[in-house]
Chains A and B, each alone.
Chain A
Amino acid sequence: MPVISYREAVRHALAEELERDPNVVVMGEEVAQFNGAYKVTEGLLAKFGPQRIVDTPISEAGFIGMGVGASMLGIRPVMELMFWSFYSVAFDQILNNAANVRYMSGGLINCPIVIRGPANGGTNVGATHSHTPENVLANHPGVKVVVPSTPYDAKGLLKSAIRDNDPVMFLENTILYGEKGEVPTEEYVIPLGVADVKREGTDLTIVTYGRSVLHSLKAAEILEKEHDVSVEVVDLRTIRPLDIDTVLASVRKTHRVLIVEEQKPFASVGSQLAFMIQKEAFDDLDAPINRLATVDAPAIYSPPVEVEQLPNPQRVLKAALATVA
């Protein structure tokens, strides 16, 4: 099976869906002529032309609102945010318009948009460029939220996201763009709302998503080899809709849970998960649900210190040992 990068996986998904459906349009800042700020859309302009791959001026509220409006007529825009941090410039368009137009019209309208781009810290770009807003997005009924961790997941989920008739927020990661993994050449899709057990184990469930999956898998290796702790890593893949059943099945097996998330702690995705797990699997728990999150401050710039602000394998290891102690 071919081994490709996460970046290529996203690009292939875009190309396949552009090929499949003439209503799909890719738009965003530098996506066309510049070949993408992170080279995700490299080559697409040459292949599909300027009608399908559209460079937008820096005006997130304008072009995302425009995409939402066009989607009401059946266009399927896949709009790139150069950083998901920039979503706040278009907050009203995403979370008042895209999220609510169906409801406010009593179901007469739907907005089949995808907004995609990198949402992550870890690149020393400071407090305004390091947001991971999956919790904020998932708090709004009407939108769906996807955070893939591997090339295989990214491609299959993006294809599903583009075909989805609801607004889908697709959160990538600049640090994951270079990560490689096996991706079949044959076409496949991964449905939204299906978690994936990335590693089986019996002593501890780590529930996580995005880049923290990789940190958790590294920590799991150490926990197995050096501490004789068998860890099951559940990758949510989709935040909303949420596959809580896979999480609960794992909890019922291991009886201990550590949530690992690149999120500021207050009202994070993990906060919602913890409520659901203790509500639905209280008697299966042998310890309080633990959670490792980003250290609660704006994203620091200083490179070595930022590493310690975010989840990393050592921090996951420490939190896991505390959970099984």
Chain B
Amino acid sequence: MSKKPTATAEKKAEAPTGGDFSKAPVNASLSREERIELYRKMVRIRRFEERSLRAYQSKKIGGVLHLYIGQEAVAVGACSLMGKDDHVITAYRDHGHAIAVGMDTKPLMSELYGKATGCSKGKGGSMHYFAPELNYWGGHGIVGGQIPLGVGLAYGLKYKGLKGAAMAFMGDGAVNQGAVHEAYNLAALWNLPVVFVIENNGYSMGTSQARSSAGELAKRAAGYDMDWGQCQGHDIYEVRATMDKFLRLAREKSRPATVEIDTYRYRGHSVADPDNTYRSKAEIEEYRRTKDPIQLFQNQLVSEGVLDEALIAKIDEEARSEAELAAEYAEASPFPTVDDIQKDVYWEADNPSQRASKGRLFFD
């Protein structure tokens, strides 16, 4: 048995042309429409999240709400690289990924309102958006719990002989969960086509990276002989250039990798987080001022001659309108009924004409 080559350790991905990721082939080849669409998607996510927050404050939404505001370039950049056999799974800060893969915002908002027209029929809520037909597998509530599932997606792809990759997203708080380490080992041991993406927004709820994690995050992959990398998450071109490299590695060589993407969330961990115990307002303002992914890409596209004031305004107006229409749709939709509670539990109970088992599946 030959020894595996040691991982290529990279820190802070180098721009292929000295600081300008727009020149990377994967970005340079984008059409004008495609660039606008990347920008538009980020704006749509931002406005959807803001509208969700207002709905939560109006008590239309119960439970938890983990907003993606500030992190938009990560999901949009990464998911924009998906081919037909690439798959995505993430944790509970999942609204950005859902919109990025192409889910319609009406059922997303409806789901938050707990309505029967929600994408999970009101049964999942904010943390559990799914769209199998878009290769999107949720939306998961237990920190790190989705990571072995992501390895399973990669396993399935390889088993079927498909040249696809699974992207398994997690936050900086997930990297210390045992299940994540077990998943890293399986992926590296068996050469599974999975790219683990650590969206490092600096805080695991109220606990900073410095107070949570020994050593660097993605670098731990080296201990499993797995390739790893790091990049900035506020530049969507950088996200795309970095992820493209590792996705190709996964698809073409069936090699896993761990990518740490530095990003930031403007709002608290969830709506329940008063956000006044672990960071300063000044820090948030500094990021918003200098590293807002939407503002930066807007500036970039204006300099490329792709966006102008009129189009910027139009995109924003449409995004706000879309979010408002989603809220109206959610408001007008019915709730599921008490009879719906026990549907969608067992495939057999939902498909009675094909049920082979007998006996009672439910009890009272």
B311 within 8 A of A: no
Q: Do residues A160 and B145 form an inter-chain contact, with CB atoms below 8 A?
A: no
Tally of A-B residue pairs with Cβ under 8 A?
196
The answer to whether A191 touches B362, judged by C-beta atoms less than 8 angstroms apart, is: no
Give bound CA distance, A242 to B357, whole Å: 10
Q: Mark A240-269, 1 if CB is under 8 A from B, else 0.
A: 111111000000000000000000000000
Interface string of A190-204 (1 = CB under 8 A from B): 011111000000000
Please give the number of chain B residues whose Cβ is less than 8 angstroms from any Cβ of chain A in the complex. 56
Given contacts A61-B182, A70-B152, A73-B160, contact A104 B139 (CB under 8 A): yes
A57 to B351, CA, bound (A): 36
Q: Mark B263-291, 1 if CB is under 8 A from A, else 0.
A: 00000000000000000000000000000
Contact between B157 and A64, CB atoms less than 8 A apart: no
Docked complex: B340-364 residues within 8 A CB-CB of A: 342-348, 350-351, 356-363
Return B358 CB to nearest CB of chain A, in Å: 4
State which residues 80-128 of A face B: CB under 8 Å: 92-93, 96-97, 101-110, 112
Cα-based distance from A53 to B292 in the complex (angstroms) = 49
Contact B356 A61 (CB under 8 A): no
State whether the Cβ of B179 lies closer than 8 Å to any Cβ in chain A: yes
Q: With A96-B142, A109-B132 in contact, is A70–B156 under 8 Å at CB?
A: yes
Which of A69, A102, A195 makes the CB contact (< 8 A) with B148? A69
Distance between Cα atoms of A102 and B348 in the complex (Å): 12
| Among B87, B155, B178, B345, contact of A141 (Cβ-Cβ < 8 Å) | B345
Contact among B128, B160, B186, B359 for A66, CB-based, below 8 A: B186
Considering only residues 21-76 of chain A, those with a C-beta below 8 Å from chain B are 25, 51, 56-57, 59, 61-75
The answer to whether A142 touches B345, judged by C-beta atoms less than 8 angstroms apart, is: yes
Question: Which of chain A's residues have a CB closer than 8 A to the CB of B351?
Answer: 165
| Complex contact B179–A65 (CB within 8 A) | yes
B346 surroundings in chain A (CB, below 8 A)? 102, 141-142, 144, 166
A105 close to B152 (CB less than 8 A): no
Q: Contact partner of A108 among B130, B185, B363, CB < 8 A?
A: B130
* Residue of B whose beta carbon sits closest to that of A105: B130
**A312: shortest Cβ distance to chain B, in Å?**
29
B120-138 interface code vs A (CB 8 A; 1 in, 0 out): 1111100010111000011
Are A105 and B138 touching (Cβ within 8 A)? yes
A71 surroundings in chain B (CB, below 8 A): 152, 156
Whether B151 lies near A69 (C-beta < 8 A) is yes
Closest A-chain residue to B149, C-beta based?
A69
A221 adjacent to chain B (CB < 8 Å): no
Smallest Cβ-Cβ distance to A142: which chain B residue: B345
Check A164 against B356 for contact (C-beta < 8 Å): yes
Assess the A241–B361 pair: CB atoms within 8 A. yes
Chain B residue, CB-CB nearest to A69: B152
Chain B residues near A238: list those with CB within 8 A.
357, 359
Contact between A92 and B142, CB atoms less than 8 A apart: yes
- The 10 closest A-B CB pairs, nearest first, are A69-B152, A65-B148, A193-B359, A62-B182, A107-B344, A73-B156, A106-B121, A69-B149, A241-B359, A106-B120
> 26 A-B residue contacts at CB 8 Å?
A62-B185, A62-B186, A65-B179, A65-B183, A68-B148, A69-B153, A69-B156, A70-B152, A70-B156, A75-B156, A96-B145, A97-B140, A103-B345, A105-B120, A105-B130, A105-B132, A106-B121, A107-B350, A108-B120, A109-B130, A109-B132, A141-B342, A141-B346, A164-B356, A240-B361, A244-B359
| A interface list, Cβ under 8 A from B | 25, 51, 56-57, 59, 61-75, 92-93, 96-97, 101-110, 112, 141-142, 144, 160, 163-166, 189, 191-195, 238, 240-245, 272, 276
Given A73-B157, A74-B156, A241-B358, 10 more A-B residue pairs with CB atoms under 8 Å apart are A66-B151, A66-B183, A67-B152, A69-B148, A69-B155, A73-B152, A96-B142, A105-B344, A238-B359, A243-B358
